[in-house]
């Protein structure tokens, strides 16, 4: 079973918190809140998003590389992670 399925509730809770933070940014802009406050909200979303990304990468490494049941599965897991990191750091 995939780690995203096993941790589904926890991951969805994190995504919902991020969604709420993004809605707070939208609301702040609509209500013409000050620039520094909007920047603080954006920084909070970035931190939350990075935390979610870090958690998913760690779980991917543990589940699909370290605990892989074959060398082929380990290579596949490593290749998937490399592709994601290339996209992430663009």
pLDDT, tens only, 39-89: 999 999 999 999 999 999 999 999 999 999 999 999 999 999 999 999 988
User: Average pLDDT for residues 28-42, to the nearest whole number?
Assistant: 97
**Lowest pLDDT segment from 5-9, 18-22, 24-28, 38-42:** 5-9
Q: What letter would DSSP give residue 66? A: I
CATH of the domain at 52: 1.20.58.1000
Residue ranges making up the domain that contains 57 = 3-88
How many domains is the chain partitioned into structurally?
A: 1
Q: What is the pTM of this model?
A: 0.82
Q: What is the pLDDT of residue 38?
A: 97
């Amino acid at each position: 079973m995939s780690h995203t399925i096993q941790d589904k509730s926890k991951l969805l809770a994190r995504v919902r918190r991020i969604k709420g933070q993004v809605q707070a940014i939208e609301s702040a802009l609509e209500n013409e809140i000050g620039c520094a406050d909007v920047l603080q909200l954006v920084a909070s979303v970035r931190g939350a998003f990075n935390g979610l990304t870090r958690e998913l990468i760690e779980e991917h490494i543990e589940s699909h590389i370290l605990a892989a049941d074959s060398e082929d599965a380990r290579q596949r897991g490593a290749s998937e992670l490399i592709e994601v990191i290339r996209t992430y750091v663009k």
